[in-house]
Amino acid sequence: MTDQSLPPVAARRPHSISHHGHSIADDYAWLRDPGYPEVKDRDVLDYLEAETAFFESAMAPHKARIDALFAEMKGRIKEDDQSVPQKDGDYIYWRAFEIGAQYRKWYRKPVAGGEDQLILDEPALAQGHDYFRLGAMSVSPDGRYLAYAIDTNGSERFEARIKDLISGEILPDVIPDTLSSLVWTSDSKGLLYGLANENWRTDNARLHRLGQSVESDVELFHEDDEGFRVSVGLTSSEKWIVISTGDHVTSEAWLVPADNPTATPLLVAARQDGREYEVDEHDGTLYIRTNDTHPNFRLVTASLEAPGDWTEVIAPDAHFYLTDFTLFKGFYVTEGRQDGLDQIELRDYATHAAKRIAFPEASYSASLDENPEYDVTKLRIGYESMVTPDTIYDYHLDTGELEVLKHQIIPSGYDADRYATERLMIAARDGTQIPVSIVYPKDLPRDGSAPLHLYGYGAYGLAMEPGFSTSRLSLLDRGIAFALAHIRGGDDLGQQWYLDGKLDKRTNTFTDFVDVAKGLIDLGYTSAGRIGISGGSAGGELMGAVINSDPELWGAVVAHVPFVDVLNTMLDETLPLTPGEWPEWGNPIEDKAAFETILSYCPYNNVKAQAYPPMMVTAGLNDPRVTYWEPAKWVARLRATRTDDALLILKTNMGAGHGGKSGRFESLHETAEEFAFLLWQLGVED
């Protein structure tokens, strides 16, 4: 019987790949089951199970702390919480948790008066499943039907179903393998969706008619480029259905009437490499957000008769990044970031003049919340900061008043005065100033003695918002500062910030993170070896890169579903995401320079004989985004190559995917495990 207290050793089976004159050994390639997405190879399963057994053995002595952390995190959650009701047509909608429930229930009641109606019962749908996730959901225009999609294993192959909200009956119409929004036609008798193909890619938009077989569904649009993905949406006026296709850098949109979805689609503008755009419609005029003349985007208009003839209404701005726009009947809203700080502006259709909504703090996260109706007199807005819990406002258009509808309730208590938050600027090695959001207990010593947790992502143009976290309080209350590094690769300071962290500039992301850590040390917040770091997916790639380059800085590392086998994944065009990822990482199959760039930083290929910090790694067996073998191979190579015996543990969720376990308490328990590991390795006592 295997001793579970000892780390497992993966077999080394010689294997190599050759591209562009390079031959690269990969002795752990066997950990990819050739039958994937089914994983039945006994050697693979035995290894994953041995690693999880070792994980459980290593963490078992810390069960009391895990339980205590879980209890205090759970104590900060209002168990019987509910959303702020919002009107949409003839009904008011909301969702609510019951005490002890892992999942929500969804309700509505008539505006004219009447009983509350339970329209979707997530706990009932989740019953009997180790994993459950509700995907797209949409109520038909006449209010009678609810279309919803569910995933019960984490594979992100959703099954769409339709419920008659009058009778409560689930219709026999079942659409398997959907991977998209669900959009109703105007007559409430048709539903548009996208089907995942055999490579898990949505390359189509299809129309289902209620009561007809799925086999007879009509394909309205098909995308031939394997790197593009198709999505469906609805304009704000609900007159047009938008069929969009694109990859990370290029997009194209088609319009079909919502009351005649089989009409010939209207092309807005043909795809041009490197040009992104999105479209909405108001009173026959198209509004289009595009980056055709500047990375920070501009807003243009066009007529339905000449949709490709664009007139600029909001010019691009080097300091203002236009991230979104929403059209309403009497006005429209633009959202963006001014030098990295969220802004919401109301604009007039005639003059396009802007009225900016003012918020009370110097650093915060703010955005439009749920605003389903087209004709409104107030806007629903969400707001939070690193010290201010989530707050829902109604902004009254006539008075400019921000009316508080809901403050996030923390049952165990919360005193914001105990904490301080700052927005720092730390110089990277090339002189670029990197923003850092930090929160810490006010009595934190500034002599380098305090531990600090540093989080980063830095990919796909995704900004890291300086928001609130009740779980994070478990670190702050134990004297640990928490910092968020707004590194290049995200779009925190605009689209150029993203461009400066991708493709041949990818290493900026990694060096920015390291330089932020060194800057925080110089400022006295912490010291080398007292820093815990974490990141997931592409942020897990970040973890892998910085432990290879600067292992001595980190006292503990958590890498969630880490994208660490970048080169092999980008060389495998049969994987679900690979062709669509080439604009982000480069195509190493065709481009020798891209191959060599990825090889130079790929965490798996750059593991070296050196001491590494203590590490906790997670994976999901059903993860279609970062396949389970990436973290498994990485851990195996680290074990065989490193020169130290610091703790290295791998936990594979055998019934989950990219997001880990589902359910608000199951996922909270995984956070408690992560924090217990960090506190243990950083030497923090309760």
Active-site amino acid positions: 537, 623, 658
Gap between the terminal Cα atoms of the chain: 36
531-536 and 554-560: which strand pairing? parallel
Angstrom distance (rounded) from CA 500 to CA 516:
17
C-beta of residue 580 within 8 angstroms of C-beta of residue 567: no
- Using alpha carbons, select from 137, 84, 131 the residue that is nearest to residue 103: 131
Contact assessment for residue 611 and residue 523, using Cβ atoms and an 8 Å cutoff: no
One-character DSSP codes across 385-418: -SSS--EEEEEETTT--EEEEEEPP-TT---GGG
Per-residue tokens: 171: 């219709």
Cβ distance 546 to 513 under 8 Å? yes
Strands across the sheet with 332-338, in order?
320-327, 332-338, 341-347, 354-356
Half-sphere exposure of 379 (CA within 13 A, CB side): 27
Cis (ω within 30 of 0) for the bond into 37? yes
- Rounded CA-CA distance 414/552 in Å is 35
Determine the Cα–Cα distance for residues 151 and 129; give it in Å rounded to an integer.
10
Residue 242, Ramachandran bin (φ over 0: left; ψ between -120 and 50: alpha; else beta):
beta
Q: Catalogue the E-assigned strands of 36-126.
A: 86-88, 91-96, 105-110, 117-121
CA-CA-CA-CA dihedral for 491, 493, 496, 497, to nearest 10: -70
